[in-house]
Copies of this chain bind each other. A is one copy, B any other.
Amino acid sequence: MITQTKGAFKPNKTVINNRPLICMETLERVAPVIRNAAHPLRLRILDYLQRERDPRTVSQIVEAAEAGQALVSQQLRILKDQGVLGARREGSYVFYSIVEPSVLLLLECIRKHGAQQRSG
């Protein structure tokens, strides 16, 4: 229901509520992180790394992701640049692991709500 005033409806211009809006600075900082994670292949990589719990090599990730090596390597770099993943070299292998667990909430959310088909 809309708060009708008189004959001609005029919506309130300035409604000040209790809770303040999240500041744009925060949104601008966080949005690209989420946006970058919200990519099928990168989500798959995160899902895999979370499931395995221990760090995994690029080859293992490539196999799990069922994608080309170069492509996976690029995605790993993106996630690393965002601070989501960490990498550690061990011999000729590079082990990746999740160092910023906040993004895992995305996966949790997808597991809960993602299975449902969209109504529209």
Residues of B within 8 A of A59 (CB): 11, 13
A91 interface neighbour in B9, B22, B31, B95, Cβ under 8 Å: B9
Instruction: Judge if A57 is at the interface, Cβ distance under 8 Å.
Output: yes
A38 interface neighbour in B34, B43, B91, B113, Cβ under 8 Å: B34
Residues of B within 8 A of A52 (CB): 15, 17
Interface 1/0s, chain A 48-66, versus B by CB < 8 A? 1001101111011001101
Instruction: Count residues on chain A whose CB falls below 8 Å from chain B CBs.
Output: 60
For the complex, what is the distance from the CA of A43 to the CA of B39, rounded to whole Å? 18
A48 touches B21 (CB 8 A): yes
A110 interface neighbour in B15, B30, B64, Cβ under 8 Å: B30
Residues of B within 8 A of A39 (CB): 31, 35
For the complex, what is the distance from the CA of A119 to the CA of B104, rounded to whole Å? 17
A27 touches B110 (CB 8 A): yes
Using A22-B44, A22-B107, A34-B106 as known contacts, list a sample of 10 further A-B pairs with CB atoms less than 8 Å apart, ordered by residue number in A: A11-B60, A13-B60, A15-B60, A21-B51, A22-B111, A24-B40, A24-B66, A27-B40, A27-B110, A30-B43
